[in-house]
Amino acid sequence: MNIGIIGLGLMGGSLGLALKKYPKKYTVLGYDHNPIHQNDALELKLVDKISSDLNEMKACDIIILTIPVDAIIAISQDFLDISKNCTVIDFGSSKEKISSSIPSPIRQNYVTAHPMTGTEKFGPSAAIEDLYSHKTMVICDIEKSGEYQKEVALALFRDIDAKIVFMGAKEHDRHAAFISHMPHAVSYALAQSVMKQEDPKSILALAGGGFKSMSRIAKSSPKMWEDIFRQNKNNLLESITAFNTEMQLCQTLIEEEKWEELHQWMSQANQLHKIL
């Protein structure tokens, strides 16, 4: 099968690496608006070939969209003439708006998915061969996809060793807001709170593993996360409100020196480890 990967950053590049393990099954064609990314992807052997022709990409058996969520919606309007047997898989981090924005004549061609994996790095050089291995792949609104497209997508996801979970797009976006989108907002806020101090270098000189872990994702692409925040605005605001409520409670318990209650509050939070 000819696979066209549109977007050759961390997600697209890592997918290309994973699929290169099956040279007799998949031929990987790469497409990216950034010529540097195109050259890097070829040099790093993330893809077999680079194309700058969208029509060539549209002729592929499978098209993977690993681009920002707004771009996924925009490019879908150019796919009205794809083959009825073409399978388009998007890897957007928010799903409801994408799922509902795909033109109805080609909705059956689409499988809307979200791989629950990634790092704070971006660009072709960030690609990791096993990025998707044993990681959750959420497939949303699967009932809107064609039977053939389902089979193709599931086979590909099995080849990259992903753990498949099915979920409605609306449900996905609410859950993603709490476990992914809001933590990114918190990390950006943490980085800002430190950088706005009079002498951030002195603070950072003392930074240990805890701070580095919590601030790591503040290095993530602002362009990508601005789009995600925009598309999942309502759920994100709900999750931020819930977080602020807990932060306010923590502040109040400290101000009022209610140490026993604070201890109990932290102990309740420890229960998360039993779930994870």
DSSP string, 145-212: S-HHHHHHHHHHHHHTTPEEEEE-HHHHHHHHIIIIIHHHHHHHHHHHHHHTSS-HHHHHHT--HHHH
C-alpha 141/C-alpha 196 separation (Å) is: 43
Beta bridge partners of 65: 6, 90
Closest CA to 3 of 18, 17, 19, 14: 19
Classify the C-alpha dihedral 55-59-60-65 as positive or negative.
positive
Burial of 250 (0-12, 13-18, 19+ CB in 10 A): middle
CA dist 35 → 27, 51, 112, 217 (Å): 21, 11, 27, 26
Tell me, what's the pLDDT at 173? Answer: 95
- Best CA proximity match to 48, nearest among 28, 19, 25, 20: 28
Write down the pTM of the prediction: 0.85
> Is residue 116 classed as helix, strand or coil in its secondary structure?
coil
- Let me know if domain 172-275 sits in CATH 1.10.3660.10: yes
pLDDT value at position 118?
A: 80
Half-sphere exposure at residue 86, Cβ-oriented, CA atoms within 13 angstroms: 21
Backbone dihedral region for residue 273 (phi beyond 0: left; psi -120 to 50: alpha; all else: beta):
alpha
Provide the H-helix boundaries in the chain: 10-19, 35-43, 54-58, 69-76, 96-101, 147-159, 169-176, 182-195, 200-205, 209-215, 222-231, 233-255, 259-270, 272-275
- Determine the pLDDT at residue 275: 79
| Partners of 3 in the β-ladder | 28, 62
Task: Return d(Cα 30, Cα 195) in angstroms, integer.
Answer: 38
Predicted local distance difference test score (pLDDT) of residue 137: 96
Q: What is the pLDDT of residue 242?
A: 97
Report the alpha-carbon distance of residue 128 to residue 134 in Å, rounded: 13
List the chain domain ranges.
Answer: 2-167, 172-275
Write down the CATH number for the domain with range 2-167: 3.40.50.720
Phi-psi region of 219 (alpha: psi -120 to 50; beta: other; left: phi over 0): alpha
Residues of the chain whose pLDDT is less than 50? none
